[in-house]
Amino acid sequence: MTTLGWIILVISWGAIIALSVFCFYKILKVKKDNIHAPLDIDTGDLEEESDKEHNP
């Protein structure tokens, strides 16, 4: 393994890990108003008429 090989490996792995960490940090730190309350979660099992705005 040459020095250039190590540099490429570290940069490639570092870029991917940094992107993944950034994304999951943002996802897990998401604002509360963006999290659906349990009643807002529709599993598709109920035939309710609610939530019409999502199905115009």
By CB under 8 A, name the binding residues for other proteins: 1-2, 4-6, 8-9, 11-13, 15-17, 19-20, 22-24, 26-27, 30-31, 34-36, 41-45, 47-48, 51, 53-56
27-36 exposure pattern, b = at least 16 Cβ within 10 A, e = fewer = eeeeeeeeee
Minimum CB separation of residue 39 from other proteins in Å reads 12
Minimum CB separation of residue 40 from other proteins in Å reads 8
Contacts of 51 (CB under 8 A, 6+ apart): 40, 42
Minimum CB separation of residue 9 from other proteins in Å reads 5
